Amino acid sequence: MIRPTLSGIFKSPIRKWLIAGIVFLLTYLLLVKHAEKYHQFEFGDWQSEIYADKSGYYIYLPATFIQGYRQTNYPDSIDFKLGNGFGFVNGKLFTKYTYGVALLTAPFFIPNHLSQVIAGNEANGFTREYLKFTYFASVFYLLAGLSALLFFLRRRFTSIASIIAIILITFGTNLYYYTFQEALMSHVYSFALFSFLLLLTDNYWRKPNRWTLAGIALISGLITLIRPTNAIILTIVLLLDIKSIPQLKERLRLLSSARNVLILTGLFLLIWIPQMAYWKFMSGNFFFYSYKGEGFTYWLSPKIAEVLFAPKNGLLIYAPAFLLIITGWVLMIFRKDANRWLIGALFLVQLYLVSSWHMFFFGCSFGQRSFVEFLTLFSIPLATLFNLTLKPVKILPLITVLLITGYLIFFNLKLSASYARCFDGKTWEWELYRHHLVRAEVLPLPKNTFSWINDFEQDNTFSTAGINIMKVSNAHSGNYINELKGNSRFSDGFEIDLGKQLTGKVFSVSVSMQFFFNKLPESASFVCSIVRNDTTVFFQSKQLITGKETPLKNWKRLEDTFEIPFLKPVGKLRVYLMTHKEENMLIDDFEVIISSEK
């Protein structure tokens, strides 16, 4: 009997899967850590991961595993506290959203919930600890979807073209935003399902078998469950890579066999049965239109120009990478490539559907979020463009492609990081869009800056108070520091008459200080305010996040940035440190940088 050795195993096909698994796991952990920085809000904060629409998707999880579907089991006003993404009607839980996102994220919610139970924490589904599972889920489905998409693309294009297309889609479009910053919105989950459908369809027509068809049926059910209008993508099951009428007839013949119809309809409906049961419980009917008062009100006058170009969430101005996708699609037409008309038709149908919806800008969005999942299909023209440009690979075309790709990624990451989650202006309000560009610093738009620093060594212009300045032997720089001690809850501050020092609307105030403390402060905050004629027009405080790992009895630099809503440079701006308790700390090298547009 021959026994496999360890070296033999690593030389076998298992080795490839083992390496792929390790790479997937390490990438997953790295991206989860990256996502964590976007999720520092408390449960019930409007910017947290379970609020408004996201709470409507989420509520199925605590309802199924903890609270049930009756109002009496829930904390008072929990629907209001979570942004009214769900509510209660006749004592029953009501959410207009389907359970698809909850189903896909349940494998992450359940361990998180059990860990709260085991630890003896409050395990009601509505504490800050329940926010964490959201980005663990979104990052997993991003990577799973990208992996499937990469397999699909590699069958058609070179490795370098496929990889660059994947990277650009991930970091150069709003797929990034809806994975890392809005982790419980539906789009990254639909993106993964679209990718699975592409790969399964490709596998099926290469080698038809009932198990692959079963996977197609289940994935199709989930796609339509999460977002019914996404049913248009199911046309790829029949039309992907189609080249002739006889080929189309043969596919129809195969799919319409009794066995295959039973597989497709049976498993598709299986996904929908729990949703229909919930609708029956909630409304008395198995079929229920939960979006009452909402619909396709612009179907005779679709807002196509607004969807594509408007400052309020326009597709192309928030995700200019789509210009490369369109370029690749045009190349596919000239080359008479397979799928050129399928891709064009699906884009136009989706554009019409989105443009016809009563809220064509889709509320608080970063760009046109309804196109995110379609990036799976649009990766084909994108990879086509890169494939033609880089085949064979030459230095100049490669550098050009990398520079363009790099800038589009830079544009997307910077704009999404500085975006305030909502475009609060009118549809064609270009000035507000320009404000977003100025804040993100993605274009060479002119700006003014004013810098100030106080090391407490001497009298300082724009410094306020001048109290509790003391000489110490361990100052961060020089010999003097500012001490907060006992009843002194306010640091020396910075105050400036904006009109005398700046021009242009103020949009940013960055603050940094050096801190020294014997005990971690519990309630210290940076404060920024602007006062005009004894009226406060801006006030914000930001609690210092020191971290448990912060070393004591060492100087530590802490910093933060206040986003000012482009206010005219009128009035007095003040920045200082405030403590809500009597806490002792020293500060040194207090620095403020004010930015305004020209």
What is the pLDDT, as a whole number, of residue 393? 81
Give CA torsion, residues 244, 246, 247, 250, to 10 deg. 160
What mean pLDDT is predicted for residues 232-247? Answer: 95
What is the pLDDT, as a whole number, of residue 135? 93
What is the pLDDT, as a whole number, of residue 9? 47
Nearest to 505 by CA among 445, 426, 447, 575: 447
What mean pLDDT is predicted for residues 236-242? Answer: 95
What is the pLDDT, as a whole number, of residue 520? 74
Pairing of strands 469-471, 524-532: unpaired
What mean pLDDT is predicted for residues 233-245? Answer: 95
> Which residues face 587 on adjacent strands?
482, 515
Nearest to 514 by CA among 455, 562, 464: 455
| pLDDT(521) > 80 | no
> What's the pLDDT band for 6 if we cut at 50, 70, 90?
very low
What mean pLDDT is predicted for residues 18-38? Answer: 90
What mean pLDDT is predicted for residues 143-154? Answer: 96
pLDDT-wise least confident of 175-179, 420-424, 439-443: 420-424
Q: State which H helix or E strand residue 507 sits in.
A: strand 506-516
> What's the pLDDT band for 585 if we cut at 50, 70, 90?
confident
What mean pLDDT is predicted for residues 518-545? Answer: 86
What is the pLDDT, as a whole number, of residue 490? 81
What is the pLDDT, as a whole number, of residue 433? 94
Report yes or no: 442 and 415 within 8 Å, Cβ to Cβ: yes
Tens digits of residue pLDDT in 384-411: 999 999 988 889 988 999 999 999 999 9
The better pLDDT of the pair 78, 47 is held by 78
What is the pLDDT, as a whole number, of residue 550? 60
The better pLDDT of the pair 501, 308 is held by 308
What is the pLDDT, as a whole number, of residue 442? 92
The better pLDDT of the pair 200, 494 is held by 200
Which 8-state DSSP code applies to residue 180?
I
Q: How far is CA 378 from the centre of its chain?
A: 19
Alpha-carbon span 481 to 469, nearest angstrom: 6
What mean pLDDT is predicted for residues 171-189? Answer: 96
> What's the pLDDT band for 45 if we cut at 50, 70, 90?
confident
Letter for the amino acid at 89? Answer: V
The better pLDDT of the pair 543, 550 is held by 543
| pLDDT(426) > 90 | yes
Tens digits of residue pLDDT in 468-507: 888 888 899 989 998 887 667 788 889 999 999 888 999 9
The better pLDDT of the pair 167, 483 is held by 167
> What's the pLDDT band for 342 if we cut at 50, 70, 90?
very high
**What's the pTM value of the predicted model, to 2 decimals?**
0.90
| pLDDT(282) > 50 | yes
pLDDT-wise least confident of 242-246, 480-484, 522-526, 529-533: 522-526
Residue 2 CB burial class (10 angstroms; 0-12, 13-18, ≥19): exposed
Tokens of 387: 């494939």
Alpha-carbon span 188 to 175, nearest angstrom: 7
What is the pLDDT, as a whole number, of residue 466? 66
* 110-135: burial string, b at 16+ Cβ within 10 Å, e else: eebbeebeeeeeebbbbeebbbbbbb
Average pLDDT of every residue of the chain: 91
Please provide residue 576's backbone torsions phi and psi, each rounded to the nearest 5 degrees.
Answer: -160, 175
- Residue 503's alpha-carbon distances to 449, 474, 534, 569, in angstroms, are 10, 39, 21, 6
What is the pLDDT, as a whole number, of residue 578? 85
Report yes or no: 566 and 435 within 8 Å, Cβ to Cβ: yes
Q: What percent of the chain has pLDDT over 70?
A: 96
Alpha helices in 207-257 (DSSP H): 210-226, 236-239, 245-255
Tokens of 309: 């170009």
What mean pLDDT is predicted for residues 295-319? Answer: 96
